[in-house]
Structure 1
Amino acid sequence: MHTAEQRARRWGIRGRRVGTTDRAGKFVQDVNFALLFPAPKPLAPSLWEVVTDEDDEPWVNGMGEYEQKVWTWKDELPSKGLAWHGAFIGGRSTLLSPALLAALYTGEGKPDDHEQFDLSPAAHELAAALALEPQTSAFLRELLGDKNKYQRAIGELQKNLLATTAGVQEQNNGWPATLINLTSDQFEVGGSTDHSEAARLYLDTMLDITPAELARAFRWSTPKARELLTELVDDGEAITEDGRTYHRPS
């Protein structure tokens, strides 16, 4: 078993603070995936923890300097092709490295990929609108005419990795509006699905995992996750003593 200290070092918590978008992109590419802000569950690296001092907690005093930085980067990173962003792991705001995204993405990398998925009519409507061009979240909410309906629909697209934030559009009044784009338009995806590689990257980040944890992270069945981890053991990419917990080799 790896220790909490080893995991903290793997996640960059003990390292130099991240201060630029490009460094944030390199962080995500190194750890493969990260939440924007730390959460007790699911356990995962977070961008917040490498931006601030180790003991800082987010949102204690509202939108401060570091909260603003992390919140801005969630749009800048995808716009630069450095990381995908959307509600994914545990339904929380998640950044995925391009390598992990490509391994998980099951579409063909085309604007009509959404047609292969069992989505609600509202989610298909959003995807069809995004196939024309990136749209602001405000426009998409207005298109569906209901905020809750929009949240459910965009959540469907993001959990299937079909849509990502993609920068912002300045407004005459108030905050800039978040732009949403199809993942297939923003990143090189399609034709490179490799769930064994995705499992390897998850283990590389977490150091120790169970099949159930891997299954929850990527919305797979537990038997599928166990099969993939067993394959990694056979390939020398993982070790296990009891068949229940799998470790990254030292």
Structure 2
Amino acid sequence: MFKTLEQAYQFVKEVKICTVFISDKTEYTSLWEHVDLPEKQPGEKGWGEKMTAVWTWKNQLPAEYPNEIFYGKIKGGLAVLMDIDYLACDHFPQAYKNIQTLDSLAQHIYSKIVVEPWDTTSLRKATIQEVGCTKSQFDTALKNLQITMNIARLNDSQIERDTWVPFSDLYLDIWQQYVRDKNDSK
């Protein structure tokens, strides 16, 4: 059990991958269940100490340790934190799917993100206006782009909204290693 960002960092490095919140959809442990801070008390305003810490750390860990901690989504749409080495060697090679294999809505969203970073709200509004999809369809496509390792959240603690860039823009070394390994195996 821990109470600080540094302890949360050590936890992620130790377990290699964890969900942000508890889920019965996965065997992975969660950051939430290991944080030893009080939950929201009756009558207390806001989220409470534990929720505030977990919500802040999910963004702060990859921002402060961008070469060591990754934030993303796994199959099932669960938010995770993972050790970069685990990401490179284990997760990315299994999770990556070429953008051409995804549906046209995901490809459309990706084509916008490749040109420039987009925050979720602005991207959703523009996409709904351009292609006439629903909010739910957009959210599913954005989640699938994360799960398939095509996009990643920009690691900048100064940016308040989730902002998306191509995975290879943030993690070029992992991308290049994957391409090399794939070519070597041919």
For 2:18 and 2:41, how far apart are their aligned partners in 1?
Answer: 18
The equivalent of 2:78 in structure 1 is 92
The equivalent of 2:170 in structure 1 is 186
1:138 aligns with 2:124: no
**CA deviations over 1:182-202 (Å, ceiling 9, x no partner):** 222222312434xxxxxxxxx
**CA deviations over 1:5-34 (Å, ceiling 9, x no partner):** xxxxxxxxxx5x1412x4433321221100
The 5 Å alignment of 1:1-250 reads 15=1, 17-20=2-5, 22-52=6-36, 63-80=47-64, 81=66, 82-103=68-89, 104-106=91-93, 114-115=98-99, 117-145=100-128, 146-166=134-154, 167=156, 176-187=160-171, 188-193=173-178
Give aligned-pair identity as a percent: 25
Offset at 1:78? Answer: 2.8
Q: Does the aligned pair in 2 maintain the 1:84–1:97 contact within 8 Å?
A: yes
| Structure-2 change in CA distance of 1:152 and 1:168 (3 Å) | farther
- Gapped regions of structure 1 (runs ≥ 5): 1-14, 171-175, 194-250
Which residue identity does 2:84 align to in structure 1? Answer: P
TM-score of the aligned structures, taking structure 1 as reference length: 0.56
Offset at 1:97? Answer: 1.4
Which residue identity does 1:86 align to in structure 2? Answer: G
Runs of 4+ in 1 over 4 A off after TM superposition: 56-62
- Gapped regions of structure 2 (runs ≥ 5): 129-133, 179-186
What is the RMSD of the two structures over their aligned residues, measured on CA atoms? 3.1
Number of positions where the alignment pairs a residue of Structure 1 with one of Structure 2: 166
TM-score of the aligned structures, taking structure 2 as reference length: 0.73
For 1:29 and 1:160, how far apart are their aligned partners in 2?
Answer: 22
2:177 aligned counterpart, secondary structure = coil
